[in-house]
Amino acid sequence: MRSVLTAALGVSLGVLAASASQVVADTTATTSISQFKVLEPGDPSFKLFHGAVWLEYDKATMNYRWGGLQCKGRELSDTSIQLLFAAFRSEYQVTVEYVVSEYKAKQYRCLTSFTISKS
């Protein structure tokens, strides 16, 4: 009986580990914010996403979004948006954590957290 419980526990932990690895955020390089965009409810794209940042090191190919259908459940608080804007304005360095989301067969990088540093 004990070996059956141990085996079941091992399988359960393996399933939990596999599930957890699917939602682990990736991290960008530390860089400055090149562009900052916040959408208001009257904007035609607001239902798709609520805002985005472009980082200096990959601005030509990538942005990091939050909210809307493209990043469902990945909202930023007003305070976090203000902090990101302050980092943009002061040219501080940021490191972004994100998860990849899919909407209508296209992938989006959805911001989950960020770190701001002076250098």
Each residue's pLDDT tens digit, 65-111: 999 999 999 999 999 999 999 999 999 999 999 999 999 999 999 99
Question: Is the pLDDT reported for residue 63 higher than 50?
Answer: yes
Residue 55 falls inside a structural domain: yes
Question: Is the pLDDT reported for residue 40 higher than 60?
Answer: yes
Residue 87 falls inside a structural domain: yes
Residue 102: count other Cβ atoms within 10 Å of its Cβ.
Answer: 9
Here the CATH number for the domain that contains residue 35 is 2.40.50.50
- For residue 59 the two structure tokens come to 């601005």
Q: Which domain holds residue 66?
A: 25-117
- Residue 98 is predicted with a pLDDT of 98
For the chain, how many structural domains are there in total? Answer: 1
Query: For 33, how many CA atoms within 13 A lie in the half-sphere containing its CB?
Result: 25
Question: How sure is the predictor about 24, in pLDDT bands with cuts at 50, 70 and 90?
Answer: confident
Q: What's the rounded Cα separation, in Å, for the pair 34 and 16?
A: 38
Residue 15 falls inside a structural domain: no
- Residue 119 is predicted with a pLDDT of 73
- Contact call for residues 76 and 49 (beta carbons, < 8 A): no
Residue 5 falls inside a structural domain: no
